[in-house]
Structure 1
């Protein structure tokens, strides 16, 4: 009996053993294939990064080498600098550096990219490179040379010692410090050197991108917390609420704000309102459950306009609309002397079940108040003169004056031409003083 049983089981067990060995071998091969592909991708990204940093250094040198009045060559060089920094940033994102401090170098490349782009897109025949911008280019040329040199040194060691990026990823993921991780040490060296570079004058257009908003920018005396709490309750009306509280945010005077919060009396969600210390509302959020749609878009817009008017905002017009999950979102801008002030926009969300205001975002309105006051609202060009700069194939539906922030982060007065081209909606913003096209915006059809 045992002989017959063993005669039957032996080949079965043998087949199972062989099958498990084959399966394990295939799994091992697949794993090695995946690791090899990842390693090849890391190696390619690293060597491309080294190459593009060297090209960036050379491109900056060529841009500096041409005559100071060669606007065409300056534009071409800056466009190439912008392209190369974008490629370098993309390659950094492909490397396993999320756990490795390399943020200083990434920030440096980001600033170079923005500086090159914002300088290249302007009319350089009227606004050529300034002495300060030429000085900035010389500094970037010297700094990029050092970064390129350091990356080449890392590349040489990687090639000579056949170093693997997968080992770097494994070491970073497990938080293990190897005795001699050339790649990690090399990137840390690059980042530390970048951090030690002297402060660079990037100019106002680039600096404005990275400048952090501070309540010190706002005018007016501080408001007592109890007054802010009462103001919050006024904004929450007519909703019955409970558990009202207020807390201070931020540990420094630069970022000191207050949050008033309360629960709905019926227990369905909360309302939170953020204020500046001067008592200006920055945001409003109601998290209650929104039921089925009952209101039209026009009715919701009237609700949003009534809310803004009730709480002391100036005359505002809705310029953008979006419907999502039974909530209609509106972007409102103030209208001053028949000019639409886009930098001072406010977003208002309205629940379409009963018209409640469920959200307000007013930070742009608050921080742009002081800036837009310096913009002249008197155009130098007539509507007809500005219209000559618009594509003749565009069917213009309306024209109005508007203040916008252009690619150079400057507030400028423009003629806004709204219409369609090939059945797609567009808004074209033409500078009301120079006739230059400042911005083009596609409008999603409802």
Structure 2
């Protein structure tokens, strides 16, 4: 009996040691797999940004040379789309909004100014010398942007740079070295972008509009400690293991909504995969949140279920009367656009975006920057035209499926319109008729595919 006791204890310890080693190896392998997936995602985003900016530069050069109105409309449309794509990919990189404030302004203005010139062409007006000079300036900035991105690409390749190490804390020396390379290049890019002269035109990203103050924020200044508590509460106190603030960047003052920025480390998740969040310094509102975790390619959540979860999420966060608009699937998730409704009027400027992971239905993205820029107590006017009178302003062969009142942004103003959705010659469109004057304000084409819906 004594002999048996003598070998039982070591055997149990041996088995426990083997199990512990197996568990540790499995955790190590899982961590490495997550790290590789995250790194591949960041590398892909970086090269996508670079490619989109190259396309912006090339098409701007062509637009300056072209003397054909039809060709210019096509080129300007491509510039607009490439700039939007570049901004979307840039926003998913492991860097703060403040570090790319001037760059985001450039991309927004490249897209918005292209749209403005498209409208000028369609109205039959020639491009003026001042407008051509503005195009030349945008082209020079895109060229400078590409030069810095090429330098950055070369340096990253030489130094075996890992984007994910910008977030990692296990090796301070490597992280600081990588950040120095990355941040130095960002400063150079931002310095060049910040020198863009004012673009004077009537558009949502004109300098006059960009310099206006957010309408939906409280006036109270919030200290960082309170903002940190707000970030914890928004994500879920019980889900957060740790939180810390990260550098806001040299151009923090240029961000449209100045915010405190935080890394949140969820429980039961790798520390190399923090959730990023921005909390406004005025009012203490969560402006944006992104969770860059890899999403499993196996789709388990339907679009309908994802939309229901996104809507519930908004209601829990205090956003009532939000209605789903359009959605787009990409990178294993689906991004929904929600807009505010008041007095049976759809208010498009009050926009919130929510991204849902399709592997488990988790909310992995939230952007309320447009909502807080525009939301206000509105005195909605009574329409001067009836629905029937507005309908008479639309082509008779336009097959209308739905109609309602909506407020749309146009330059510095918001316009009350009748929104008519329907079909014309096999394609879907939205026509906006001014509810006060009867003018045709805007026409959008709806493009639907297996990944969602876009409007142009």
- TM-score, normalised via structure 2 length: 0.53
| Preserved CA contact (<8 Å) 1:215 1:276 | no
For 1:321, the equivalent position in structure 2 comes to 327
| Preserved CA contact (<8 Å) 2:263 2:277 | yes
**What SS does structure 1 have at the residue aligned with 2:388?**
helix
| Preserved CA contact (<8 Å) 1:342 1:404 | yes
State how far apart, in whole Å, the 1-side matches of 2:333 and 2:278 are: 21
Q: 1:398 aligns with which of 393, 398, 402?
A: 402
| Preserved CA contact (<8 Å) 1:236 1:271 | no
State how far apart, in whole Å, the 1-side matches of 2:425 and 2:362 are: 38
**What SS does structure 2 have at the residue aligned with 1:220?**
coil
State how far apart, in whole Å, the 1-side matches of 2:321 and 2:374 are: 16
Return 5+ residue gaps in structure 2 as ranges. 1-57, 80-108, 134-149, 152-194, 450-456
For 1:188, the equivalent position in structure 2 comes to none
Q: Which has the higher contact order (CA 8 A, sep 6+)?
A: 2
TM-aligned CA distance change 1:411 to 1:122, over 3 Å? farther
**What SS does structure 2 have at the residue aligned with 1:445?**
strand
| Preserved CA contact (<8 Å) 1:321 1:328 | yes
Q: 2:445 aligns with which of 413, 437, 442?
A: 442
| Between 384-393 and 251-260, the greater mean CA deviation after superposition | 251-260
**What SS does structure 2 have at the residue aligned with 1:430?**
strand
Q: 1:304 aligns with which of 310, 316, 329?
A: 310
For 1:134, the equivalent position in structure 2 comes to none
| Preserved CA contact (<8 Å) 2:214 2:372 | no
TM-aligned CA distance change 1:120 to 1:236, over 3 Å? same
For 1:209, the equivalent position in structure 2 comes to 206
Return 5+ residue gaps in structure 1 as ranges. 1-41, 53-78, 90-107, 125-136, 148-172, 175-194
| Preserved CA contact (<8 Å) 2:214 2:374 | no
For 1:426, the equivalent position in structure 2 comes to 429
State how far apart, in whole Å, the 2-side matches of 1:254 and 1:356 are: 32
For 1:221, the equivalent position in structure 2 comes to 220
Aligned length: 291
State how far apart, in whole Å, the 1-side matches of 2:334 and 2:303 are: 7
State how far apart, in whole Å, the 2-side matches of 1:113 and 1:237 are: 41
For 2:268, the equivalent position in structure 1 comes to 266
For 2:290, the equivalent position in structure 1 comes to 285
| Preserved CA contact (<8 Å) 2:354 2:366 | yes
| Preserved CA contact (<8 Å) 1:402 1:415 | yes
TM-aligned CA distance change 1:266 to 1:400, over 3 Å? same
Deviation at 1:119, TM superposition (A): 7.0
**What SS does structure 2 have at the residue aligned with 1:366?**
helix
For 1:342, the equivalent position in structure 2 comes to 348
- TM-score, normalised via structure 1 length: 0.54
Deviation at 1:409, TM superposition (A): 4.7
| Preserved CA contact (<8 Å) 1:208 1:409 | no
Deviation at 1:272, TM superposition (A): 0.9
State how far apart, in whole Å, the 2-side matches of 1:262 and 1:110 are: 33
TM-aligned CA distance change 1:417 to 1:329, over 3 Å? same
TM-aligned CA distance change 1:239 to 1:440, over 3 Å? farther
Rg (Cα) greater in structure: 1
State how far apart, in whole Å, the 2-side matches of 1:109 and 1:243 are: 39
For 2:41, the equivalent position in structure 1 comes to none
Deviation at 1:121, TM superposition (A): 7.0
**What SS does structure 2 have at the residue aligned with 1:392?**
coil
- Over aligned residue pairs, what C-alpha RMSD do you find? 4.4
TM-aligned CA distance change 1:382 to 1:110, over 3 Å? closer
| Preserved CA contact (<8 Å) 2:403 2:419 | yes
**What SS does structure 2 have at the residue aligned with 1:309?**
helix
